[in-house]
Amino acid sequence: MKRESIYKRYSPKFKQTKENDNNTYWFIFNSDKLLVKMTDNVANILTSESIEELKVPFISTNYMGTLNGHNCFAAITNVDEVKLSGMCFKSLRSLYDYLAEDIFLLAGKALQIAKWEETHKFCGRCGSATNTVEGEYAKVCPKCGFTSYPRISPAVITAVIKDGQILLAHNKSFPGNVHSIIAGFVEPGETLEECVRREIFEEVGIKVKNIEYFSSQPWPFPNSLMVGFVAEYESGEISVDGEEITKAEWFKDLSTIELPSKMSIAREIIEWYREKYCSK
């Protein structure tokens, strides 16, 4: 089943129009690590009341809108340790099994905004200090006029089906025996479908056909928008590139391998495959 949008609970805004309350969400980052409170193996985002207790100094803050009617902020701090019970900084990627899905996705947006704020204090063209543009996420240079926005890097991720089997691969960066579907970044001048064909051929040496859109997911590692597809095998034999992919096989029985986190679009597509092909 495809995931529901977080925008049923989250309303993006650039300008704060309501006062903070005790349930204001604060997504506080030190580098790529998010400040959370761990309780019974569940990670919780700090609220305004917690912020008052912590007195964490912020380098910058950005308003993001409201979640469940409560204000949300992305913030950066250079403090790397908070001496209160249960409070700690954890990498956002490590938290996707411990945060509610909509909170994780919103934390991903907060991370990208915070990183953009951190890396665009100066103009990329002339080096002058930039000004924040009101009403949008943008930085403008008062000297040369160059305007910059948060960068989004599109990437494709594709399930390839052959005779009721799915192609799954182990990337050298994956832990343990985790296998997933093929993914890669879109190159300049390339359509999404061309990227699907190129990435699959480069990484596992096969050609595909009948490429169909599945769904998409924002993925802040680092600035991605993952665009999911399903494709049919056309020709070729599996031959891994040996650089990114260390092994790849056609699978029907998924019990012999580890799968990606349920938070990821990769797992969403794999579960679609399981329901469509493995329940018969």
Token pair belonging to 219: 């993925």
Range of the domain at 202: 153-278
* pLDDT confidence tier of residue 2, bands split at 50, 70 and 90: low
Q: Say yes or no to pLDDT of 157 above 90.
A: yes
Q: Quote the pLDDT of residue 183.
A: 97
Higher-scoring residue by pLDDT: 271, 99: 271
Q: Say yes or no to pLDDT of 280 above 70.
A: no
- Residue 176 in any domain: the answer is yes
Region 137-152: mean pLDDT is 95
**Does one domain contain both 169 and 222?**
yes
Region 98-111: mean pLDDT is 89
Q: Quote the pLDDT of residue 118.
A: 87
Q: Quote the pLDDT of residue 3.
A: 64
Interval 52-97: pLDDT, tens: 777 788 888 899 999 999 999 999 998 877 776 778 899 998 897 7
- Residue 64 in any domain: the answer is yes
Region 7-27: mean pLDDT is 90
**Does one domain contain both 18 and 103?**
yes
- Residue 1 in any domain: the answer is no
Interval 210-269: pLDDT, tens: 999 999 998 888 889 999 999 999 999 999 988 899 999 999 999 999 999 888 899 999
Q: Quote the pLDDT of residue 227.
A: 97
Q: Quote the pLDDT of residue 189.
A: 97
**Does one domain contain both 18 and 108?**
yes
Region 36-62: mean pLDDT is 84
**Does one domain contain both 106 and 49?**
yes
Q: Say yes or no to pLDDT of 15 above 70.
A: yes
Q: Quote the pLDDT of residue 4.
A: 66
Q: Say yes or no to pLDDT of 274 above 80.
A: yes
- Residue 229 in any domain: the answer is yes
**Does one domain contain both 160 and 127?**
no
- Residue 224 in any domain: the answer is yes
- Residue 57 in any domain: the answer is yes
pTM of the predicted structure, to 2 decimals: 0.87
Region 45-54: mean pLDDT is 79
Nearest 5°: the CA angle 229, 235, 236 is 110
Interval 174-219: pLDDT, tens: 999 999 999 999 999 999 999 999 999 999 999 999 999 999 998 8
How many folded domains does the chain comprise? 3
**Does one domain contain both 220 and 199?**
yes
